[in-house]
Amino acid sequence: MAQLLVESAVKDGTPKPNAVVLENPALRMLGLPRLRAKLPSRNWLIFWSVLAGWSGTVFYDRRQKKIIQQKWCNAVSHLSEEPLATNALPRKVTVYLAAPPGDSLRPMREHFQEYVKPILVAAGVDWETFEGRKEGDIRAALAEHIRKKRRKEMHEQVEGDEDVVENLRASMGVHAADARRDELIIGRHTWKEYIRGLHEGWLGPIHEPQIVKEADVPTTMDNIPSAEPLQAELLSIKDSPQANTPSDTETLSQTEEASQTENQSIGSDKQQETKAEEAAPTKPSPTPPYILPKEYPFCIANHLPSEFPVSAVIGNPHLLGFLKTPTRVMRFLNRRRLAEDQGREVVNLLLTKEPRSYSRDDRWQQIDLLESEERDWHKSARAPNPPEEESKERPRIEEMVIDDRVGSRMRKADYVAVGDEPQGHLVAWKGGADPMHQMGWWKWLKWAFDVDYPEPKCKGWEDGLKVEGD
């Protein structure tokens, strides 16, 4: 009946009566709108879906990364619990960091602090860092460190801050608990400089050759003619009889005054420039190499040790450029895999007891390590040298050359099984083994909050179904 009345009213042209809206009078008195149960709009659904998906992916990746890092830290935590004498120093690891091509040193420091430092701290291991801001700094620092060690073995007097500290420790009876010095190299670019510095230190001369000294001589003002002959010529002209006429003396006095004012202005400008140059910090360039790779076969090495320190190389995925954004996003969402690979290499270095030698088939194994990282380098790393620096070394883009005497003495960390791997060092978790694969969701609550929850009567998909006959 009501529908008929409404239809008739519409046909007659009378206005349609308003529908009765049911709402809470208390909310209406407070001025609050009526809340309707409805789905958000299409745009809001898209926004919240993308936000929830991205946030969930990042949260899952970071949570898994923390679990993986904790697993590797627990794998080496027993090293920090070993007793240490009061006059003994802890084990030390040497870490080599170099600025990635096209970037500063800051990303390398952050990479070390995020993936490597927690494991070293958990193991109670001390570390020493060699940092390189420019290409060739790691090569020069390592070569000089080896040459200094060779000079000490030849009983040459070498004095430095480190020597004073070592002599003081020796007089107090302080010694290293573990004489082994492991070395950790981060990145392909650092690895190539490390290899170059290792060859230069052990195969090159101990003292600086004459060619390098001539190359290091800075440009001076000695070749510029002095102003004394010019001043003497001006004085001779002034004292000459022809210059004693009134007109000449007046012109000379005017020119002298103008030259004095000009010299004063030039002198003040030069003083300001020199002050600005002194205030700006100068970055020293690395020392030129004592020998080149083509000279390795002709070098005589009489003081090579039987074996070099154990070295481990870990990757440093560093990508620049706007067009590489999809790849960078994928790497950002897969930090857990990077933590797994980085942690495994560091743990292998700390737990290995019998290092292995590098193999050689067609060429040495060291040449192929992390070779895939070179595809991610910035294009500026492959740019040729300018004409004024044509002879500058470029160890990062040059082919790696390894001498047999050095390559056969290098050692790498052996593979150590950790966690649920066969014959590995079990990870000590709070509830036993790794709960990631051996606990159901209700056991996770018990493991996390120490709450006793009733065990299920039958096994479900969380614990795995038991098949009869197994």
Is residue 332 located within the same domain as residue 449? no
- Span 83-113, pLDDT tens digits: 888 888 888 999 999 999 888 899 999 999 9
Choice between 47 and 363, residue whose per-residue pLDDT is larger: 47
- Of the candidates 195, 48, 193, 52, the residue with the CA atom closest to the CA atom of residue 135: 193
- Tell me, what's the pLDDT at 229? 46
Number of domains in the chain: 2
Is residue 297 located within the same domain as residue 344? yes
- Tell me, what's the pLDDT at 447? 54
Residue 20: is its pLDDT beyond 60? no
Choice between 258 and 392, residue whose per-residue pLDDT is larger: 392
In order of 22, 27, 37, 376, the CA distances from 30 in angstroms are 16, 5, 20, 62
Is residue 399 located within the same domain as residue 453? no
Is residue 358 located within the same domain as residue 455? no
- Of the candidates 155, 154, 177, the residue with the CA atom closest to the CA atom of residue 85: 177
Among 366, 395, 412, residue at a domain's last position: 412
Instruction: State the sign of the Cα–Cα–Cα–Cα dihedral 187, 189, 195, 200.
Output: negative
Is residue 382 located within the same domain as residue 467? no
188-203 and 137-153 are packed helices; what angle lies between their axes, rounded to 10 degrees? 30
Residue 365 lies in a domain: yes
- Compute the average pLDDT of residues 128-139: 91
- Of the candidates 196, 388, 390, the residue with the CA atom closest to the CA atom of residue 292: 196
CB 93 within 8 A of CB 126: yes
Is residue 191 located within the same domain as residue 334? yes
- Compute the average pLDDT of residues 43-72: 95
Choice between 117 and 381, residue whose per-residue pLDDT is larger: 117
- 3 pLDDT band, cuts 50/70/90, is low
- Span 403-458, pLDDT tens digits: 999 999 999 987 766 554 433 443 444 334 444 444 555 555 555 555 454 444 44
Residue 324 lies in a domain: yes
Residues of the domain holding 371: 49-212+285-412
Q: Which residue has the tokens 């309707």?
A: 36
Consecutive H or E run containing 97: strand 92-98
CB 287 within 8 A of CB 144: yes
Residue 36 lies in a domain: no
- Tell me, what's the pLDDT at 22? 63
Instruction: State the sign of the Cα–Cα–Cα–Cα dihedral 111, 144, 309, 180.
Output: negative
- Tell me, what's the pLDDT at 208? 84
Residue 12: is its pLDDT beyond 50? yes
Residue 7 lies in a domain: no
- Span 62-79, pLDDT tens digits: 999 999 999 999 999 999
Is residue 402 located within the same domain as residue 455? no
Consecutive H or E run containing 311: strand 310-314
Q: CA-to-CA distance for 363 and 403, rounded, in angstroms?
A: 11
Residue 350 lies in a domain: yes
Residues of 20-38 as b/e, b for ≥16 C-beta within 10 angstroms? eeeeeeeeeeeeeeeeeee
Is residue 322 located within the same domain as residue 454? no
- Compute the average pLDDT of residues 273-289: 63
Strand arrangement, sheet containing 310-314: 126-132, 92-98, 182-186, 310-314, 411-412, 356-357
- Tell me, what's the pLDDT at 353? 84
- Span 183-227, pLDDT tens digits: 999 999 999 999 999 999 999 888 888 766 555 554 444 444 444
Is residue 208 located within the same domain as residue 101? yes
Is residue 319 located within the same domain as residue 457? no
Q: CA-to-CA distance for 455 and 432, rounded, in angstroms?
A: 17
Residue 18 lies in a domain: no
Residue 218 lies in a domain: no
Is residue 375 located within the same domain as residue 443? no
Residue 40 lies in a domain: no
Q: CA-to-CA distance for 187 and 372, rounded, in angstroms?
A: 11
Residue 234 buriedness (CB in 10 A; 0-12 / 13-18 / 19+): middle
Is residue 448 located within the same domain as residue 306? no
- Tell me, what's the pLDDT at 276? 52
